[in-house]
Each structure stands twice: as C-alpha cells, then as structure tokens.
Amino acid sequence: MATAKMTWSTKRSKYHNDTVEVDGIRYDSRGEYQRHCFLKLMERAGEISELRYHVKFTLFPKGSKELIRMPDGTEVVLRTYDREHWYEADFVYKNKRGEMIVEDFKGYETEEFKRKRILFNAIYHQDIKIVKLTNASVN
C-alpha cells in the first residue's frame, strides 16, 4: 500500500487554520482533510458516490450585469462584473437517493460566505450543507 505525502503549512491564516496538502490536494484546514478522509470511507462503504472536492459553481459570469427595474419598467444597471465570481464547494457528492449534496467545512462562517450561500441557493435552488468541527469531532 502506498503512503501519502502530507505537508502542513507553517504560516497561519487569519482564521488560525493550518493548510494541509496530501498527494497534491490542498485542504484549507486539518478538519477539512479529516472530513475528506471520512467521506472517502463513506464512498467505499457505498453510502455516498461520485465524491469530488473543490468544485467551482459560477455565481456571476464575467460581463454579467446587476439590474434594478424602475416603476416605469426601465432597467438601470447598478454594476457590471468585470470578472467571474464563483463559490468553491469543499465537497460535492451524491447520497443513496441520488441527490447531489454540496458541502462546506467551516470553522467560522464569514459574511462573504453567507452572501455566497444566499446567491448559490437562489441560482442553483439548493442549500449548502455546513459541517463544523466541534470539540475535536465533526458535526
């Protein structure tokens, strides 16, 4: 059996997490890496399928416009996006019922994430499952 190459970063992020790299895959925290290991076990056991990680979902394509409709029916451009905006899910997989689950491992929910979660829900008509590390166990 091959052994995995694992490295930890020495530079701490502003949220005090250690990034982990295993076999060329970067995880934002040790907890996210542990969650990936758990999901791999669930996949082997047949509980989930089609496990993918760091999947990007487009929220606003480059050149898209944010509009408001005036009472007279005219549209006013509030903002034009000069670059693509996306949400990157930590994990995406299918459960036993064949439903796609979009999951994010969080130690702390930032305001930016909360905004992206609302946009994701509005665009893709699906919520993001939040998994948190609590007292050294994943909930």
Q: 103 in a domain, yes or no?
A: yes
Contacting residues for 65 by C-beta, under 8 A, at least 6 apart? 77, 78, 79, 80, 81
- Note the pLDDT tens digit of each residue in 72-85: 888 776 667 677 77
DSSP string, 43-107: HHTTSSEEEEEEEEEEEE-TT-EEEEE-TTS-EEEEEE-SS-EEEEEEEEEE-TT--EEEEEEES
Q: 1 in a domain, yes or no?
A: no
Number of neighbouring beta carbons within 10 Å of residue 69 = 9
User: Would you say residue 93 has pLDDT above 90?
Assistant: yes
Query: Residue 94 corresponds to which tokens in the numbers above?
Result: 């299918």
- Note the pLDDT tens digit of each residue in 30-39: 888 888 989 9
Domain count for the chain: 1
The pairing of beta strand 100-106 with beta strand 85-94 = antiparallel
Q: Is 135 helix (H, G, I), strand (E, B) or coil?
A: coil
Q: How far apart are CA 59 and CA 124, in angstroms?
A: 9
User: Would you say residue 135 has pLDDT above 50?
Assistant: no
Q: How far apart are CA 43 and CA 50, in angstroms?
A: 8
Contacting residues for 83 by C-beta, under 8 A, at least 6 apart? 62
The confidence score (pLDDT) of residue 61 equals 73
Looking up residue 30, the CATH number of its domain turns out to be: 3.40.1350
Cβ atoms of residues 90 and 35 within 8 Å: yes
Q: 48 in a domain, yes or no?
A: yes
**What residues make up the domain containing 30?**
6-138
pTM over 0.75: no
Q: 25 in a domain, yes or no?
A: yes
Specify the higher pLDDT residue, 84 or 94: 94
